[in-house]
């Protein structure tokens, strides 16, 4: 029972990371500019640096993009 619960939680975690990864690709090319115009003036390397944070915080960022 404990093992099954842990595996379910790990799968949920994996799905979260996978969605974050896919959203991250969209975010660094387009999404970041939608929520922060300063990104458009910044070098592309800055957007690459944002990628790991995007994977971690994607639900927050999607909400912010929709609100815009």
Partner 1 sequence: MGLDYQLVLWNKQKKRYDLVLFLFIVIYLLGFAVVTFTTNANTSLETLIIRAFGSLAILMLHIILMIGPLTRIDKRFMPLLYNRRHFGVLMFLMAAVHGVFSIIQFHTLGNVNPIVSIFTSNLDYNSLTNFPFQVLGFLALIILFLMAATSHDFWLANLSAKTWKALHMAVYLAYTLVILHIFLGAFQQETSPLLLGLVGLGATIIVALHIFAGFKEVKVDQAKVSEEDGWHYVCSVEDIKENRAKMTTCAGERVAIFKYEGKLSAVHNVCRHQGGPLGEGKIVDGCITCPWHGYQYLPGNGQSPPPFTEKVETYNLKLVGNKVYIDPKAHAPGTPVDPIKI
Contacting residues toward partner 1, per CB under 8 A: 2-3, 6-7, 9-10, 13-14, 32, 35-36, 38-39, 41-43, 45-46, 49-50, 52-53, 55-57, 60-61, 64
Closest CA relative to residue 29, chosen from 12, 4, 48:
48
CA separation for the pair 23, 55 (Å, rounded): 7
Q: How far is the CB of 29 from partner 1 (least distance, A)?
A: 15
Closest to partner 1 by CB, 19 or 57: 57
**10/22 with CB nearer partner 1:** 10
CA atoms of 16 and 19, how far apart (whole Å): 5
58 touches 22 (CB < 8 A): no
């Amino acid at each position: 029972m404990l093992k099954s619960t842990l595996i379910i939680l790990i799968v949920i975690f994996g799905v979260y990371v996978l969605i974050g990864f896919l959203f991250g690709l969209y975010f660094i090319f387009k999404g970041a500019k939608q929520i922060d115009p300063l990104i458009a003036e910044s070098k592309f390397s800055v957007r690459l640096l944002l990628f790991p944070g995007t994977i971690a915080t994607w639900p927050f960022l999607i909400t912010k993009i929709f609100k815009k």
